[in-house]
Structure 1
C-alpha cells in the first residue's frame, strides 16, 4: 500500500468518526428536547361526575411528570364553567356544553371532550322497583307520583333527592326526562357522592347518578325496559348521557395541553376510562350537539 492510499484511508476514518460523533450529538440533543420536563400548576374544577376520572388520570400524569402540580376539585359544572371563564382555573370540568349555561360566553372557551358518562335513576333497594316508563319517571320528579305502589313497588312514600341548581348531572337528567317541566321541590345535594350515600340509606329514596357512582348498595332502574349499560349509551338506546368536557379559556399552556392530550390517549381511553365506569369518546356510535340533537356517526 503506497503513502497516498494510507493517507486517503486515514482521512476516510476521521470523516466517519466525525460523522458518527455528529449523529450522536444530534441524537442526544433530540432526546433531551423530547424528554424536556413539564412543570407548572394545573387546576381543574367542576363536575363531580368527572372528578374521579380526572383525579385518577391526574395522579397517573403527575407520577410521570413530577414537576407538575395538578389539582382536581368538584363544585359542579356551573362552578367549573364560571371559574374557567374568569381565568381562575386552568380547566373547567363540565357535564354540559358551555352554550347551555346561562352567564357563560362559550365563544371565549375551548371545548375538550375527554369521555362520555351515562346517567340514570337510582332508588333505595327496598322500594321494590327495577323498571320505570320514562313518563312515570317524569311524573315522580314533578311530584305527580308520590308512592312506589303507584308504579308497582312497595306501599312507601317516595323521597326525592335532587342535585343542586348548577349541577351538570341535574341538567342532563332534566333535559332527557323532564323536557322543560318543573321539578318538584325537594332536598338538594351538591355531589354525586352525597346522593349515592343518601339514596342507599334512606327508605323510599330516588335520585339519579352517573354510572361511575353506581354500587350494589343501590338499585339501578331501567327505563322503558332499556338497561343502563355502556352499550346502550353508545348507540343512544339509553337517552340519559352526556359528554365529559374539560374547557379551557382559549389555547391552553403547554402543561395543560399535555394533560389534555394524555386524557384522550389510548392509555386513558382504553383502560382507565372503562375501568372507572365511563365510556370512551372513541366508542360512541353517535354524536350530540349543544342543542341535544343526536346524529349517527
Structure 2
C-alpha cells in the first residue's frame, strides 16, 4: 500500500513539474534584471500584471544597470533594466538591443539630517564628491566630517549622477553599496553622510539638497531645470514577443503610466517637456 501511495505522489510531483516546464516552454515565465532605481516600478507592475494574468510570472531582480545590460545581451534574461543608454556602457553592443523607455527618474543628492544644509551649488557638490571639501562647515554647514557614500561601479544611478555633477572629474574613493535602499539607510544613520538616490527612494529619514536654488522635484525634471535625471529603459535583445512584449506593453499602458508611475516617484514619459539623446543633448 505504501508503495502505491509513493508511486501516486511521485506521479503527482512529475505532473506539477511538467506543468511548470510547459509554462516556461510557452514563454509564461520571464526574468527582468538590472537597475535598482527602476526595480520598485517593475516589481509593482509585475505584481499587478500577475494578479490580472494568473499563471504568467515575472521574476524581478536588481544588480545595477550594467548587470541588466550584460545579462540581456547574453540572452540570460528577457529584460535588462537600465538607467543609462546601452551606448554608454563599454562591452555592450547597442545595435543588438532595443530600448523601451518606460519612465523618467530624477536623481538627487541626499544628506544626513545633521549636515546643516538645504541648498548647495553644483560646484560645491562636485568639490564634495572629489574630496576637496572634507568638513561641512567649509561650505556653510555644521562642523561635521563629510562621509561619502557611492553606488557601486556599474550602477546607472552613479553613472548619471557623476555625468552631470562631476563633469569629467574622478570621484574620491569611498564606501560603495549595490542597493539604493541600503544607501539611503546608511545616510540616515551616519552623521555627515552624503550620497544620491532616485527620487523614488527618498523618504523622511534623509534630506534632499537643492542645487543652485533648484528643488529636486518632478516639475523641474520635466523642464530640465533639474538636470540630474535619466530615462528608465527596459532593454530586450531584438523585438520582444510573447510574455515579454505583453509585460512591457502593460507598463507603457495608460493605466500604469497614470496610476502607478507617479505614485512611486517616477515621471511618465508622456509628461516630459524635453527629450535628450544618449549623449545628453537636448533634442529639438
Shared fold, TM over 0.5: yes
Q: Which residue of 1 aligns with 2:158?
A: 170
Q: Give the counterpart of 2:217 among 229, 236, 258.
A: 229
Identify the match of residue 28 of structure 2 among 40, 61, 67. 40
Query: For the Cα contact (< 8 Å) 2:102–2:234, is it kept in 1?
Result: yes
Contact 2:27 2:242 in 1 (8 A): no
Q: Which residue of 2 aligns with 1:131?
A: 119
Matched, 1:196 2:184: yes
Matched residues in 2 for 1:67 and 1:109: separation? 28
Deviation at 1:67, TM superposition (A): 1.7
User: TM-score when scaled to structure 1?
Assistant: 0.86
5 Å matches for 1:22-37? none
Q: How many residues align?
A: 259
- Answer yes or no: is 1:117 the counterpart of 2:99: no
Tell whether 2:249 aligns with 1:249.
no
Tell me the SS of whatever aligns to 2:44.
helix
Q: Is the 8 A contact 1:53 1:276 kept in 2?
A: yes
CA RMSD of aligned residues (A): 0.9
Question: 3-state DSSP class of the match of 2:283?
Answer: strand
Q: Name 2:251's counterpart in structure 1.
A: 263
1:99 to 79, 83, 87: 87
The separation in 2 between residues aligned to 1:257 and 1:235, in whole angstroms, is 30
- Flag as ranges the 4+ runs of structure 1 deviating above 4 A: none
> 1:183 is matched with which residue?
171
TM-score normalized by the length of structure 2: 0.90
Per-residue CA deviation, residues 153-185 of structure 1 (Å, 9 max, x unaligned), is 101100000000000000000000001100000
Cα offsets for 1:108-127 (capped at 9, x unmatched): 00000000000010000010
2:134 is equivalent to residue 159 of structure 1 = no
Secondary structure at the aligned position of 1:279 is classed as coil
Choose which of 239, 259, 279 in structure 1 pairs with 2:267.
279
Say yes or no: does 1:290 pair with 2:250: no
What is the alpha-carbon distance in structure 1 between the residues aligned to residue 240 and residue 183 of structure 2? 33
Q: Confirm or deny: 8 A CA contact 1:47 1:75 kept in the other structure.
A: yes
Q: How far did 1:295 drift?
A: 2.7
CA distance in 2, matches of 1:220, 1:60: 30
Given that residues 39 and 67 in structure 1 are in contact (C-alpha distance below 8 angstroms), is that contact kept between their aligned partners in structure 2?
no
Give how far 1:39 is off: 5.6
Q: 1:62 aligns with which of 50, 57, 69?
A: 50
The answer (yes or no) to whether the contact 1:161–1:195 under 8 Å persists in 2 is: yes
> 1-side partners of 2:276 and 2:45: how far apart?
25
Structure 2: which 5+ runs fail to align?
1-25
What is the Cα deviation at residue 64 of structure 1? Answer: 1.0
Name the structure 2 match of 1:20: none
Match of 2:96 in 1: 108
Segments of structure 1 that go 5 or more residues without pairing to the other structure are 1-37
Structure exhibiting the larger radius of gyration computed from Cα positions = 1
1:28-74 Cα deviation digits (max 9, x unpaired): xxxxxxxxxx9611100000000000000011001111121111000
1:97-146 CA deviation, whole Å, 9 max, x = no partner? 00000000000000000000000100000100110000000000000011
